[in-house]
Amino acid sequence: MKGYLGTTIDAADKPALELIEEASSDLGSRFFVRIREKLGLAYFVGASNSAGLAPGAFVFYLGTDPKKVDLARHEFDDEISKLANDGLTQVELDRAKSKLLGAEAIRNQSSAALGGLCATNELLGLGYDHDKGRTHEIESVTLDDIKKVAQKYFRDGKSVEVIVGPPVKNTAPLHQP
């Protein structure tokens, strides 16, 4: 996992980060296609974005064979760097917008889900009807917006990296009292 400081629920950058997350997390993402499909270095790969009243975290994640960690990490870092410098392509952005808005529409079909969303938005100080402008908010994000946000959050090298693997076997003999 490679994590970066994210943003808040009411920040102007939030929609762009949500779209970057969506574009980085599906089976057609640049991460999945290159690292999993072409190179066979990952079981799974994607991103997770959390925003709250305080800045949350944006995390890229990858699961690989312990023997492939170094190569997978190199390829993973390379893709994050490309995203940080260049943003998304128009195809990636269009797909992310469609997927994000479609998933939200499906999720909010039931009265219970919509009521929960309205209550949560009200409790967070956004107003119960905050999501009425959601389609416009997402559709208005441009490639330039994505590039600026990607550079702002991912290009400065300020990240936290965590690698979890199997325990290292201790080959030293145990001391017997």
pLDDT of 75 > 70? The answer is yes
pLDDT of 84 > 90? The answer is yes
User: How large is the average pLDDT for residues 14-18?
Assistant: 97
Q: Which pLDDT score is estimated for 124?
A: 87
For residue 46, give the 3-state DSSP assignment.
strand
Q: Which pLDDT score is estimated for 173?
A: 64
Closest C-alpha among 86, 59, 56 to residue 1: 59
Q: What CATH number should be reported for the domain holding residue 157?
A: 3.30.830.10
Residue 10 lies in a domain: yes
For residue 59, give the 3-state DSSP assignment.
strand
Domain count, the chain: 1
Residue 75 lies in a domain: yes
Residue 119 lies in a domain: no
pTM for this model (two decimals): 0.89
Residues in the chain: 177
Which residue range is the domain that position 16 belongs to?
Answer: 2-105+142-161
Residue 169 lies in a domain: no
